Amino acid sequence: EVQLVESGGGLVKPGGSLRLSCAASGFSFSSHSMNWVRQAPGKGLEWVSSISSGSSYIYYADSLKGRFTISRDNAKNSLYLQIESLRAEDTAVYFCAREVGSGGYYPDYWGQGTLVTVSS
Amino acid sequence: SYDLTQPPSVSVSPGQTASITCSGEKLADKYACWYQQKPGQSPVLVIYEDNKRPSGIPERFSGSNSGNTATLTISGTQAMDEADYYCQAWDSGTVFGGGTKLTVL
């Protein structure tokens, strides 16, 4: 069974930083690209970033480039998202999701999410 | 950047057919997917590659993609189908539509 478990969220002051983690199990983690997607309270899904299986290809949403860094450790079956200079508008549930597809890529399995709240 | 547009809300009576559209430039040149999200839950993939259903998704969910519009169709809509639905396509990264709230009343 595919399982994705996010952690690392919490209450952070504006300007602070945070590292989110996603522990994967039940599939060959090193064979899949992975995504981070966020959802602000009461809002829609917003794609944040994706990383290829071997970390060779990394993409970020244009609006978020510069403060977010995605990485992975295939030996630990783990995905990470480092967020710097946090702002109130970064408050959201952050989901990690496995990516599949050929020709068109899409997330198929999602974790339960971890809540990041940015407030003083 | 590539944009996908969905209607904010769609209403349907139980047992009837609900159609949710997703519009994007030459969307048919890409694959479209659809996700269902209920309050407090993670999104669930219900349609991938325009019209394929993952294992465990009821047959009443179907999809199509032509021209600039992808459509999610729910036949014989049930109360349990009330949820937010998001379309997705890939364009140098994942793009989501703004979401459609489906109300079954």
Task: Render B73-104 in DSSP notation, one character per residue.
Answer: EESS--GGG-EEEEEEEESSSEEE---EEEEE
Span A91-114, average pLDDT: 94
Span A28-41, average pLDDT: 97
At B28 the pLDDT is 95
Which residues of chain B make contact with A109, given a CB cutoff of 8 A? Answer: 45
Q: Which pLDDT band, with edges at 50, 70 and 90, does A83 fall under?
A: very high
pLDDT at A101 over 90: no
pLDDT at A103 over 80: no
pLDDT at B100 over 90: yes
Q: Which pLDDT band, with edges at 50, 70 and 90, does A104 fall under?
A: confident
Beta-carbon separation of A44 and B96 below 8 A? yes
Distance, in Å, from the CA atom of B46 to the CA atom of B53, rounded to the nearest integer, reads 6
At B1 the pLDDT is 86
Q: With CA atoms as reference, report the closest residue to A49 among A3, A99, A88, A91.
A: A99
pLDDT at A64 over 90: no
Q: Least CB-CB distance to A59: which of B54, B92, B97?
A: B92
- For an interface test with A, the pick among B55, B94, B96, B101 (most A C-beta atoms closer than 10 Å) comes out as B94
Q: Which pLDDT band, with edges at 50, 70 and 90, does A65 fall under?
A: confident
pLDDT per residue as tens digits for the range B46-89: 999 999 999 999 999 999 999 999 999 999 999 999 999 999 99
